Chain A
Amino acid sequence: MKQIFKLSVGFLMIAMAFTSCNNSKSSKSNSALNSNAAEKVYVAPGEYDEFYAFISGGFSGQLSVYGLPSGRLFKVIPVFSQDPEKAYGYNEETKPMLNTSHGFIPWDDSHHPDISQTGGKLDGRYVYINANNTPRIAKIDLTTFETTEIIEIPNSAGNHSSSFVTENTEYVVAGTRFSVPIPQRDMPIKDYKGNFKGSLSFLKVNPENGEMSIKFQLLMPGFDYDLSHPGRGKSHGWFFFTTYNTEEANSLLEVNASQNDKDFIAAINWKKIEEYVNNGGGTKIPSEYAHNLYSDENHTATSTMMHEVLQVKPSDVPGAIFLLPTPKSPHGCDVDPTGEYIVGNGKLSANLTVHSFTKMLNAIENKKFAGEAYGIPILKFEDVLAGVVEQPGLGPLHTEFDGKGNAYTSFFISSEVVKWKLGTWEVLDRKPTFYSIGHLMIPGGNSANPFGKYLLAMNKITKDRYLPTGPEVTQSAQLFDISGDKMELLLDFPTIGEPHYAAGIPANLITANSKKLYKLEDNKHPYAAKSDADTKVTRNGNEVHIQMTMIRSHFSPDNIEGVKVGDKVYFHVTNLEQDYDVPHGIAMIGANTSELLIMPGQTETFVWEPKQVGVWPFYCTDFCSALHQEMQGYVRVSPSSSDIKLSWSLGDDF
């Protein structure tokens, strides 16, 4: 206890010292907001933003799409959480997307979006994003901006050092934050040390369609694996993971996992392990996990349970894994555009540590090891160190790059962004953030080719920055212009959930491929009604299937009789529109589910279990047309004993 007290007092004092010294600077730079900042973020009505920013919603479980520099919100893509607005996770088609080995899970914590790459450059095809709580990775298709795949990661817990892609999107990674018994078993928690393991999963990506499959899981020592980034250029073929809790504490980690002077960055030569695996290496271990795929052809998701994964122990592949000592619980693990520098953002360190890939290779070649951890060689700190940014701030979390030789690091405790120079390690500029910045983002910042025009700071706390909204206030992002020598704050804008992490991309890499509608003729949904002639109502026991169409401005059929109390009524509704931006919605009084919001050419299904006799209306929920208010219909519900036959009609053809 004494130790905790001492530590926290010491920490507070440091924090205060830094905050106060920053305040003198910050008040100046804050008021010196250039008068033309407004012009720089102004996107005139009808004009487009230059960049897309995909900002994860953190505990919202979703992925938001913003425009930069305007900071305007375009869409919230449902990923790991149900979304009644879009019926995601509510309609029959997308419920399987949220299936796991633990059953249906309506929520998760979405963290680190990363955009697919080809040749080290953003290609704008997919965004991959991880679920932290129940470990999963999702793929979002950037032609439709919809989640089209979710794969569960077995033998993992707190899928945090994820979901970063290699430079040709060969792999997406998933590293466990919480080490756990592998396989899971009933054992005392205090026996953690030496018994728990951390798994780093490498998911192979199919270059044709972006689909993921777990190629192998690396069973690492029981540390916490925090963040990761791929090598690129000269370091392509390697992946780097930061670790903390190398103490392997299982309780009061805030203290017990902060004792080691240095934790590690684990350098993984995945190409070497891939080769080992391709030659038949590794052990197949029974593991249950769900692989969920959504098809744009039948507008339906399927969930498949998988039963085993291939596991590899570090000792199986000597010379593929090394540990780089890195001060004080490093968080972000960031690789510069050339692939030479690996920045370890030691979040409890006063300095920022940068390792050299070239030096690392030399040290490995000369076998200059400081020791080993569970058989994994530990390199000597001095041998791999490229340089140190001295006293840049407090609590470094994440570094991104502008492609012009500069790096930008977020400092959580001192609440600022610091610009520094690669190679000379000198601090060039600093700007306060409001407040407590977590991650930051430069479009293309995790690639060989960053677009160093804007920097987005994502803050955890806003306090007094916006109009108050009761105890819970918005979190926010702040946009900086980084095109000049000094950073310039341009804009604050509120975000959904917790703006945890982001990936940005020039808009022109995406817009041309963005789908306008689904072709009706390609709709392969088993219950699609592609014209009025296809509409029908059928009964199978107490299941009633209504195959309905919607088009401006009516449902077909819109009068249905013969439904009985106790029936399970499936509304399979097809939007017959083939025009851009003409979705229709449908909602049924008393249905214990969400509305449907159906895009042109798409079919979706909701279930209604009528409990009361009567005549019950349904209506279109999306203001579709001048006759939207007329877009409605009735279902007659008769007693369960009734023998009224099913009938359906539209207009006069009763």
Chain B
Amino acid sequence: MKKSNIIMLLAAIFPLALFIFPLWNITLEAPQYPIPLGMNIHINDFADANPYDIKNINLMNHYVGMKYIPEAIPEFKIFPIGIIVSTIIGLLIAFKGNYKWFLGWFVLMIVLSSAGIYDFYIWEHDYGHNLDPKAIMKFTNPDGSVMGFQPPLFGTKHILNFTAHSYPRLGAFFLGLGIATSLLAFFIGKKSHKKVLNI
């Protein structure tokens, strides 16, 4: 097996870590929560960072009319399938394909990941803006529009008495590593291909 194909093999395997480690994390800090509330987003589940965190996030958020974080969303079915299928494709390429295919897989993964992030943004936006009209507390922005409570897509943001952090977790790093590795496999494969031609 060629060196580049071995690297591609690794690239295809790395994203499987998403089945073990969370993809993303949202953490809410406030003075009366010395241990912050946190939610880990896995590809198939929302999980408490500490016991009962999601229940307590829901309790806090109901004051401003935000919906409860759902037990399950359709993405929890789609994401695992997407990861498995793309891994299988990656493995096939690693065993059978050449470096050009590596680039193809890289592009595929970029597209899929971007779609995922966009989907996450849509969900967050809805979660933060689609508020119960009978909300206990209603806040408006300085311009008079209804204040939303959308957590940041990436980064840190102050929302009323909370500081919300939204950052990728180990699973996302493995996904990123896989994608980057496939690009590396492409370049190495390309280089050795040229060498072969030069000889």
Asked if B142 CB lies within 8 Å of chain A CBs, one says no
Bits for A521-558, please: 1 = Cβ < 8 Å to B, else 0.
00000000000000000000000000000011000000
Interface residues of A in 20-75 (CB under 8 A from B): none
Is A578's CB within 8 Å of the partner chain B? yes
A627 on interface, CB distance cutoff 8 Å: yes
Closest chain B CB from A515 CB (angstroms): 12
A464 CB, nearest partner CB in chain B, Å: 41
Tell whether, in the assembled complex, residue B63 and residue A551 are in contact, meaning their CB atoms are under 8 Å apart: no
Q: Which of B50-58, B67-75, B169-177, B180-188 lies at the interface?
A: B50-58
Q: Is A626 an interface residue (CB 8 A)?
A: yes
B199 within 8 A of A: no
Q: Are A578's CB and B63's CB within 8 A?
A: no
CB-defined contacts of B1 to chain A, threshold 8 Å: none
B38 CB → nearest A CB, Å: 13
Interface residues of B in 121-153 (CB under 8 A from A): 136-137
Residues of A within 8 A of B136 (CB): 627
Contact, CB under 8 Å: A579 / B63 = no
Nearest CB in chain B: distance from A622 CB, A = 15
In A580-614, which residues have CB < 8 Å from any B CB? Answer: 580
Closest chain-B Cβ to A556's Cβ sits at a distance in Å of 14
How far, in whole Å, are A517 and B53 apart by their CA atoms in the complex?
Answer: 13
Chain B: CB-nearest residue to A651: B134
Dominant secondary structure of chain B at its interface with chain A: mixed
Interface residues on A, range: under 10
Q: Give the complex CA separation of A552 and B55 in angstroms.
A: 12
Residue of B with least CB distance to A578: B52
The 8 A CB mask of A553-577 against B (1 = contact, 0 = none) is 0000000000000000000000001
Judge if B117 is at the interface, Cβ distance under 8 Å: no
B137: chain A residues within 8 A (beta carbon): 626
Compute how far the CA of A626 lies from the CA of B32 in the bound complex, rounded to whole angstroms: 13
- How far does the Cβ of A630 sit from chain B's closest Cβ, in whole Å? 9
B63 contact set on A, CB distance < 8 A: 626-627
Given the complex, which residues of B lie within 8 Å of A577, measured CB to CB?
59
Beta-carbon nearest neighbor of B32 in chain A: A581
Chain B hits for A579, CB < 8 A: 52, 55-56, 59
In the docked arrangement, what's the CA distance between A551 and B58, Å?
12
Question: CA separation between A577 and B55, bound complex, in Å?
Answer: 9
Q: Chain A residues with Cβ under 8 A from B55's Cβ?
A: 578-579
Quote the shortest CB–CB distance from B56 to chain A (angstroms): 5
How many chain B residues touch A (CB < 8 A): the figure is 9
Bound-complex Cα distance A580 to B51 (A):
10
User: A484-521: contact bitstring with B at CB < 8 Å (1 yes, 0 no)?
Assistant: 00000000000000000000000000000000010000
Residues of B within 8 A of A627 (CB): 63, 136
Q: Give the CA-CA distance A517 to B59 in the complex, in Å.
A: 16
Which chain A residue lies CB-closest to B35? A580
Q: Complex Cα distance A580/B55, Å?
A: 12
A582 to chain B, nearest CB (A): 9
Q: How far is the CA of A579 from the CA of B59 in the complex (A)?
A: 10
State in angstroms the CA–CA spacing of A579 and B63 once bound together.
16
With a cutoff of 8 Å between Cβ atoms, the chain A residues found around residue B35 in the complex are 580
CA distance A284 to B52 in the complex (A): 52
A interface footprint on B20-63 (CB within 8 Å = 1, 0 otherwise): 00000000000000010000000000000001100110010001
Q: How far is the CA of A118 from the CA of B113 in the complex (A)?
A: 57
Report A-chain residues with C-beta under 8 Å of the C-beta of B51. 578
Distance A552 CA – B137 CA, assembled complex (angstroms): 14
Tell me which residues across on chain B come within 8 A of A551, comparing CB atoms: 59
**Cβ-closest chain B residue relative to A552:** B59
Q: State how many angstroms separate the Cβ of A583 from the closest Cβ of chain B.
A: 14
The CA-CA distance from A552 to B136 in the complex, in Å, is 12
Interface centre among B59, B63, B136, B137, by most A CB within 10 Å? B59
Chain A nearest CB from B132 CB (Å) reads 12
Q: Mark A163-185, 1 if CB is under 8 A from B, else 0.
A: 00000000000000000000000
Q: Across the interface, which residues of B come within 8 angstroms of A517, CB to CB?
A: 52
The CA-CA distance from A627 to B59 in the complex, in Å, is: 12
B37 — nearest CB in chain A belongs to which residue? A579
Cα A517 to Cα B136 with chains together (Å): 27
Docked pose: A626 CA to B30 CA in angstroms: 15
Q: How far is the CB of B71 from chain A (nearest CB, A)?
A: 14
Chain B residue with the shortest CB-CB distance to A652? B134
**B61 → A minimal CB distance (Å):** 12
Docked Cα-Cα span, A255 to B52, in Å, equals 64
**Chain B residues, Cβ within 8 Å of A578:** 51-52, 55-56
Binary B-proximity of A606-648 (CB < 8 A = 1, otherwise 0): 0000000000000000000011000000000000000000000
Which residue of chain A has its CB nearest to the CB of B55? Answer: A578
User: A100 CA to B136 CA in the complex, in Å?
Assistant: 50
| Bound complex: CA A517 to CA B50 (Å) | 13
Distance from B83 Cβ to chain A, minimum over Cβ atoms (Å): 32
Find the B residue at minimum CB distance from A580. Answer: B35
Provide the bound-state CA to CA distance between A579 and B52, in Å: 7
Bound CA–CA A580/B56 (angstroms): 10
Report how far A579 CA is from B48 CA in the complex, Å.
Answer: 13
A513 → B minimal CB distance (Å):
16
When chains A and B are docked, how far (Å) is the Cα of A578 from the Cα of B37? 12
A522 CB, nearest partner CB in chain B, Å: 12
* A552 neighbours in B (Cβ, 8 Å): 59
Which residue numbers of A lie inside 8 Å of B, CB to CB?
A: 517, 551-552, 577-580, 626-627
- Extra 14 A-B pairs, beta carbons < 8 Å, given A577-B59, A578-B51, A580-B35: A517-B52, A551-B59, A552-B59, A578-B52, A578-B55, A578-B56, A579-B52, A579-B55, A579-B56, A579-B59, A626-B63, A626-B137, A627-B63, A627-B136
Closest 4 CB pairs of A and B: A578-B52, A579-B56, A578-B55, A552-B59
8 contacts between A and B (CB under 8 A): A578-B55, A578-B56, A579-B55, A579-B56, A579-B59, A580-B35, A626-B137, A627-B136
